A and B are shown apart, each in its own frame.
Chain A
Amino acid sequence: MADETPKPSELLAKLDHRPPATGWMDTPVEIRKGMYCYAANPKSVKALGLPNARQWNPLDDDWKLPDNWQQILHEGFKERLEKFRTFKVFMDICVRCGACADKCHFFIGTGDPKNMPVLRAELLRSVYRNDFTTFGRILGRLGGARPMTMNVLKEWWYYMFQCTECRRCSVFCPYGIDTAEITIMGRELLNLLGLNIDWIATPVANCYRTGNHLGIQPHAFKDMIDFFCDDIEEITGIRPNPQFNKKGADILFITPSGDVFADPGTYTCMGYLMLFHFLQEKYGFDITWSTYASEGGNFGFFTSHEVMKRLNAKMYLEAKRLGVKWILGGECGHMWRVIHQYMDTMNGPADFLEEPVNPVTGTKFENAKSTKMVHIAEFTADLIKHGKLDLDPSRNDNKIITFHDSCNPARGMGMFEEPRYVIRNVANHFYEMPANTIRENTFCCGSGAGLNAGENMELRMAGGLPRANAVKYVHEKFGVNMLACICAIDRAALPTSMEYWVPEMDVTGLHELVANALILPGEKQRETDLRGEPLPGMEDADE
């Protein structure tokens, strides 16, 4: 795959933001290699009992749809208009002012006008006008309406899977029209016809059965964590002793399984283990991992509201079974949108849990008192504020850090200061990227919302351009060499994007930085960081 992806210079050379001469309704979709993800494996679709499980190929003419597919879509559309005010209002009120057009990372990176958020929504609106409005029916194309055809369906599919639901456009929309909401509805409708992509459908099926996207079974999950404990012992001389599925623990910990699986997320995972060990030794902190609820992320969110709810249910079910007081959540992006804006509504009320209180500092997390789930950046920031951690920030001195706000914690939660506060306390060199590219204006990594596959690499690299461009700026200006983030998809996607656009840039989670600085009780003189790289001043200690 990778060898077919155009080089950065080629990608930039062909980047043209001028729209084509033909109108968008007259420009048929061309499903292009490198830009789309493979179709869902029928086994995975079947595992959840979702409709129309079959082998199909997006490049074929025949998508093997049920005969009445237009009717299914029409009724599905109608149902969602009646269930979601967002959808109904957003179908009606766009004035096409164009403010959103150049806010989308996919438009910036591909120049494809149908990646302007307004046109992505118009793909659905045009059918809405035809099917549900009088003017649309009478005026037809002149009124911006068109009937649902196979070509329109392909267009929907292609562009609904070229949106990462990052919500950047919705910050700029004068009416708050949220393209994530449009894409969510679009994907729900596509799923009625069995038109999911495999990079979403298979993790969903895995998560349903084994508890996590990667399909790690309970014993293997424990093995992997044990393996991190080996590494930690080697580096620090201290072996953490994590607890699993422990009934009666104070707190349940849930993090995306990506952190257990691949670098550099694994270092973040080691960071959690070390932090918990520290707190356990010093303050008797009692936290458990779960193998059943071993996934923080939720690719169901990229499938439908219902599948999101089915996967998310495990968090509360497990918390109830284990009898914990509250839940602590790891670093993940869309996981936190689901927890912050959906979980309590879908699967609550969590009246079997207690309002979360940090057992170490006594801080009441008022902002989480109903959902009863706290973000680990909030938790760690609170620990640091109360001086509960022994930190040596100089151990991160060879890292010149910038912070990438992940889309969902930024625009679906508003967590900006907590991670920054943590970074400033565990490291000495921190520089912000330009203001228009961070906080609520942050750019997506380009691979969110289930698009982190291998076969759509060109799309991912194009979508990653705006973020990479801002990283490059601080790299050149301040010598930044470490990109910190609080999202597992970021940790999986950004290294590839950085290698492509800004070589020499490493990617780290927040708690890897914390653990590097954290002084464990009784630890030996550390010579390396968690990655096995020499600590500052220890470069020659290897002899």
Chain B
Amino acid sequence: MNKNYLVSLLAVIGLFVIAWVGSAIGLKWLFGIVIPYAALVVFVAGVWRKVMGWARSPVPFRIPTTCGQQKTMPWIKQAAIENPSTKGGVFVRMLLEILAFRSLFRNTRMKMREGKLSYNLEIFLWVGALAFHYAFLTTLVRHLRFFTEPIPSWVSLIEKVDSFFRVEIMYDPIHFGLPGIYVSGLVLLAAVTYLFLRRLFVRPVRYISLASDYFPLFLIMGIALTGIFMRYFTKVDITSIKELTMGLVTFHWSIPEGIGNLFFVHLFFVSVLLAYFPFSKLMHMGGVFLSPTRNLTANTREVRHVNPWNYPVKVHTYEAYEDEFREKMIEAGLPVEKMPEPKPEEPKEEKE
């Protein structure tokens, strides 16, 4: 069972070594320019292909999971979001799913004690998932400062809010200060660690976990760790890095001196994540928008849904039914469509 995460961990360590050694032996252009471009292309093309593939399959039936009171008579209050009959209701339902993980918030945990079952709210997965995704998003957004010049004010603002906490020691003998601490980075690392530990220690979750569940976690852990390390400990040269990243955006490539190997590891991890994304479960990011149990109105009796491939089928007609049971039906006094033909009388033999 441990094979699944060991393999993933080894894979990520392997990636680390590849990038470190590669950058150390002077393949910085490969890891700094070629691979990031290739990864981005694979990401965009892969996601496009996958989403288009989903979209190509029609939605033959409108089968939302209804999680609240249906629209019915006016004096019964409808759950307009959990069981939406309008596009607006669906929009809010999807918004809540995507931004607040509404369904995951319902999570309960079953316990059995002396033959009695109980189901209590289990909020940690929801908290962990929410923390993880928002921290990831914030981290992503504040990295835009490496890819824009001038930096848009909203990016700076998010960065400022994010780095609200500071650690500084202003003491005469020692002057020590860390750059503003990004809460998002730490939350990301904590959340991803929680998600990993949960896979490892919650038995049913460990049982269902595949190598492809651990791999992205380790990869993201690697990204967060290398990032944190560069910012707070090795103190990389931000100016040079920005020169490189802006070069990528403006197609004026350059590999400035003085960028440590760790940066290339960081960038390589991100590249691998991008390239891996479209072929993995990470596509849930796109899929959540397309899930027919959530993104459709639940008013199928009110508005007809059309199935593009609906085809005629063989049915047992009433005529065939009556043909089989006609006599019994008549005997029982049930109305029939066709009265049986009166039996032709035996032709009497005429005697001369």
Contact = CB atoms under 8 A, between A and B. Distances in A.
B314 interface: yes
A174 interface: yes
A313 B283 CA distance: 39
A345 B204 contact: no
Contact of A373 (B207, B210, B286, B301): B301
Contact of B112 (A17, A83, A416): A17
A382 interface: yes
A93 B289 CA distance: 11
Interface stretch (A33-41, A218-226, A503-511): A218-226
B107 A99 contact: yes
A82 B58 CA distance: 8
A110 interface: no
Interface string A301-335: 00001100110011001100100000000000000
B212 A144 contact: yes
Contact of B210 (A12, A144, A245, A436): A144
Nearest to B62: A341
Given A81-B57, A134-B279, A345-B305, 20 more contacts: A98-B125, A177-B291, A181-B63, A209-B316, A222-B333, A291-B334, A313-B315, A317-B317, A340-B301, A367-B72, A371-B301, A385-B75, A413-B70, A414-B67, A414-B68, A414-B83, A414-B298, A436-B119, A465-B117, A469-B116
Interface in A343-399: 344-346, 348-349, 363, 365-371, 373, 378, 381-382, 385
Contacts of A366: 71, 302
A367 B66 CA distance: 15
B134 interface: no
B69 A417 contact: yes
A318 B318 contact: yes
A123 to B, nearest CB: 12
A488 interface: no
B72 A415 contact: yes
Contact of A108 (B7, B57, B117, B292): B117
Contacts of A85: 54-55, 57-59, 290, 292
Given A318-B318, A344-B301, A465-B117, A116 B107 contact: no
A291 B313 CA distance: 22
A449 to B, nearest CB: 15
B95 to A, nearest CB: 14
A89 B290 contact: yes
Pairs A-B, 10 closest by C-beta atoms = A93-B287, A414-B70, A414-B66, A219-B332, A176-B293, A102-B110, A19-B207, A371-B301, A176-B294, A414-B83
B86 interface: no
Contact of B209 (A96, A175, A178, A317): A96
B73 A381 contact: yes
16 contacts: A17-B112, A84-B59, A85-B55, A92-B283, A143-B211, A167-B65, A172-B108, A178-B65, A222-B333, A245-B335, A246-B335, A310-B316, A344-B305, A345-B62, A414-B68, A465-B117
Interface stretch (B19-27, B34-42, B227-235, B323-331): B323-331
A412 B300 CA distance: 10
A437 interface: yes
Interface of B, helix, strand, loop or mixed by DSSP: loop
A421 B93 CA distance: 27
Given A370-B301, A385-B75, A218 B315 contact: no
Max chain A C-beta neighbours (<10 A), residue from B109, B309, B313? B313
Interface of A: 12, 15, 17-19, 21, 23-24, 49, 81-90, 92-99, 101-103, 108, 113, 116, 118-119, 122, 133-135, 139, 142-144, 167, 170-178, 181, 208-211, 217-219, 222-223, 244-247, 291-292, 305-306, 309-310, 313-314, 317-318, 321, 339-342, 344-346, 348-349, 363, 365-371, 373, 378, 381-382, 385, 410-418, 421, 434, 436-437, 439-441, 465-466, 469-470, 473
Contacts of B204: 17, 19, 98, 101-102, 113, 116
B304 A348 contact: yes
Nearest to A470: B117
Nearest to A412: B66
Given A135-B279, A178-B293, A291-B329, A341 B63 contact: yes
Max chain B C-beta neighbours (<10 A), residue from A176, A178, A246? A176
B65 A176 contact: yes
A470 B101 CA distance: 28
Contact of B211 (A122, A142, A211): A142
Max chain B C-beta neighbours (<10 A), residue from A49, A84, A85? A85
Contacts of A412: 63, 65-66
Max chain B C-beta neighbours (<10 A), residue from A15, A18, A90, A370? A370
Given A93-B283, A175-B291, A218 B302 contact: no
B79 interface: yes
Nearest to B103: A174
A209 B324 CA distance: 9
A418 B321 contact: no
Given A88-B57, A346-B307, A19 B203 contact: yes
B304 A370 contact: yes
A363 B73 contact: yes
Contact of A370 (B279, B302, B310): B302
Nearest to B314: A310
B119 A101 contact: no
Contacts of A116: 204, 208
Contact of A440 (B66, B299, B314): B66
B61 A341 contact: yes
Contact of B59 (A86, A244, A416): A86
Contact of B288 (A175, A222, A378, A434): A175
A245 to B, nearest CB: 5
B67 A310 contact: no
Contact of A385 (B57, B73, B107, B333): B73
A176 B289 CA distance: 10
Contacts of B335: 244-247
Interface string B66-92: 111111110111010011010000000
A92 B209 CA distance: 15
A473 B68 CA distance: 24
Contacts of B213: 95-96
Contacts of B203: 18-19
Contacts of B209: 96
B205 A98 contact: yes
A322 to B, nearest CB: 10
B75 A174 contact: no
A410 B79 CA distance: 13
A142 to B, nearest CB: 5
Contact of B103 (A95, A176, A223, A439): A176
B63 A178 contact: yes
A217 B324 CA distance: 10
Contacts of A167: 65
Interface string B207-244: 11111110000000000000000000000000000000
A219 B68 CA distance: 42
Contacts of A84: 57-60
A342 B207 contact: no
A86 B63 contact: yes
B181 interface: no
Contacts of A21: 1
Contacts of B107: 99, 172
Given A135-B279, A142-B7, A418 B304 contact: no
A230 B61 CA distance: 43
Contact of B291 (A176, A306, A437, A470): A176
A274 to B, nearest CB: 22
A469 B115 CA distance: 8
B160 interface: no
B69 to A, nearest CB: 5
